[in-house]
Amino acid sequence: MAGEASVAVERDADIVTARQKGRELAAMTGFSSTDQTMIALAISEIARNIIAYAQRGTVTLCQLQDGGRRGVQIIARDEGPGIPDIELAMRDGYSTGKSLGVGLPGAKRVMDEFELISSPGRGTTITMRKWLR
C-alpha cells in the first residue's frame, strides 16, 4: 500500500488536519473532487466524534488495493467511554446533545462501507471505505 497517514486527534484543529490528509490521499488515489469532498466531510464527522465523546484518539488513513479495485480506508479509533446503543447512535437526528446527530449516519451514507465496533468502557473503532468506480 502506497500512501498511509496517521493523525492524532486531541484538539479541534486536528479534525482539520485529519480531513485534509484524507482529501490528499483520496486525490492521490484518483477520486474526483466531489468524492474527495465527501471523504473529507466523513472524516471530519468521525474525527469530531472522537473529540466530543472520547477526548482523544487517532485517525488512520490508507489506500486499498483489492484485485482491480482501488480505494481508501479510514479508521477512527479511541479508547473513550464507548457507545452504549449503536443502533440509536446511527439513527438520523439522534444526538446526546454534543452534535447535530447527523455525523455518523451521514458519514455512513457517503462511504461505501462503514463498520462501527464499540463496547462501553472499551472505546470505539469506526472503519470506513470508499472504492473508486
Helix axes 33-49, 103-110, angle to 10 degrees: 150
67: left (phi over 0), alpha (psi -120 to 50) or beta: left
Q: Does 130 bind another protein (CB under 8 A)?
A: no
Q: Does 15 bind another protein (CB under 8 A)?
A: yes
Task: Build a one-symbol-per-residue string for 67-86: x at contacts with another protein by CB under 8 A, - elsewhere.
Answer: --------------------
Report the interface residues with another protein, using CB under 8 A.
11-13, 15-16, 19-20, 23, 33-34, 36-38, 40-42, 44-45, 48, 92, 99-100, 102-103, 105-107, 109-110
